[in-house]
A = this chain, B = another copy of it.
């Protein structure tokens, strides 16, 4: 999917919400546990209930991988379901991969050929040749980790380079702009440091930013929009637990839909404020 189509979806749905499909088998409501594939059954119902309010889904691969090959099978079936029923919705594999070139090639094959994701999150530590293989596919995207929302982000991401004065996450943003374009690259920017978003927007004015950490991790949507939105929105804000686990009972899908709608309505106002 290209930039333009993604922006069209945002304008049409009045939303820049990404729903994280971090489906934990231990949190699937009891009434689904007799299904042949409880995680798939849960995902389908969550997707159907939230699709009107979201422009992207982001399965977190760890949740599927922790179930072994059966989990991968569930992931494949979830992607198939999404691509057949909601082909207009942007699909991000939250995988945080990254390895030497010939190995990244294979990760790209895993997520863009074997699975039909539109984007995959990639870790920058190993540099250019670990990232570029993911960009050899037309209309597929790398979502590169820049500033993450967890506590450990402080360990290395803020280290200041003696030559440029840039913090590591700033070096990542600046250097990686030579590897791709705003048409095939986005950045992960944690919402816990909303004031940082303003600085980041100056470095990458045109790129989409994938913002986790709104909700359970404590960021504010208003702050994110104020500091991060650009003329084509340029934001995908992720919420996982706040939506998919809005209820742990039989009514989980209905409640997830309501939670997604509430976020969408807030986003609609923010888009309107920006004249989008």
Query: Interface residues, chain A, CB within 8 Å of chain B?
Result: 22, 60, 62-63, 65-70, 72-73, 75-76, 94, 96-101, 103-104, 106-107, 109-110, 113-115, 123-131, 145, 148-157, 159-163, 165, 168, 171-172, 175
Contact = CB atoms under 8 A, between A and B. Distances in A.
A159 to B, nearest CB: 5
Contact of A66 (B94, B96, B109, B151): B109
A182 to B, nearest CB: 20
Given A67-B114, A68-B110, A152 B171 contact: no
B131 A152 contact: yes
Contacts of A60: 99, 103
Contacts of A65: 72, 106-107, 110, 114
Contacts of A171: 156, 159
Contacts of A155: 124, 127-128, 175
A265 to B, nearest CB: 28
